[in-house]
Amino acid sequence: MTPQTVNGTRAARVPHTLVLLFGMMVVAWLMTWLLPQGSFDTVQNEAGRSLVVAGTYAPVDDRVQLSPLALFTAIPRAMADAAPIIFFILIVGGAVGTLRASGAIDAGLGRALHLLAGHPGWLIAGGVTLFATASAALGTSAEYIPLVAILAALAVSLQFDRMTAVGIVLAGYGAGYGVAFLNPFTVLAAHEVAELQPGSGMWYRLLLFIPFVGIGIHHVWRYARRVQDDPARSLVAGLPANIEPVTETLALNGRHRACLLATLGTILLLIWGIGWRGWYLNELTATFFGLAVVIIAIGRLGASAGAQAFVQGAAELVGTALLIGFARGISLLLEDGQVLHTIVHGLSIPLQMVGEHLAAVGMLLVQTLLNLFIPSGSGQAYATMPIMAPVADLVGIQRQVAVLAFQFGDGFSNIVVPTNPVLMGILGAAAIPYDRWLRFVLPLLAKWLVAAAAALMVAVSIGYH
In a domain, 4, yes or no: no
Burial class of residue 270 (count of CB atoms within 10 Å of its CB; 0-12, 13-18, 19+): buried
Alpha helices, DSSP H only, in 50-119? Answer: 69-81, 83-101, 104-116
Q: Is residue 16 a part of any domain in this protein?
A: no
Q: In terms of Cα–Cα distance, which of 99, 95, 135, 96 is closest to 286?
A: 95
Q: Which domain holds residue 261?
A: 24-36+68-461
pLDDT in 10s for each residue of the chain, 465 residues: 333 444 444 444 567 778 888 998 999 999 999 999 998 887 876 666 777 787 888 888 888 889 999 999 999 999 998 898 889 889 988 998 998 899 887 788 777 777 776 677 888 999 999 899 989 988 888 778 877 877 887 787 778 889 999 999 999 999 999 999 888 888 988 998 888 888 888 999 999 999 999 999 999 999 999 998 898 998 988 877 655 544 455 678 889 999 989 988 998 898 898 878 878 888 989 999 999 999 999 999 999 999 999 999 899 888 888 888 888 888 899 989 998 888 888 888 888 888 899 999 999 998 898 887 777 788 888 888 888 888 898 888 999 999 999 999 999 998 998 878 888 888 888 888 888 999 999 999 999 999 999 999 999 999 998
Going from the C-alpha of 252 to that of each of 102, 115, 155, 232, 399, the distances in angstroms are 11, 12, 21, 37, 43
**How far apart, in whole angstroms, are the C-alpha atoms of residue 386 and residue 381?**
8
Residue 54 domain-assigned (yes or no): no
Task: Name the pTM for this structure.
Answer: 0.80
Total of domains in the chain:
1
Within a domain: 165: yes
Residue 2 within a domain: no
51 in a domain, yes or no?
A: no
Tell me the residue type at 282.
Answer: N
- For residue 8, being part of any structural domain is answered with no
On whether residue 290 sits in a domain, the answer given is yes
Q: How far apart are CA 402 and CA 359, in angstroms?
A: 10
User: Residue type for 122, please?
Assistant: W
Pairing assessment for the beta strands 9-12 and 50-52 based on DSSP bridges: unpaired
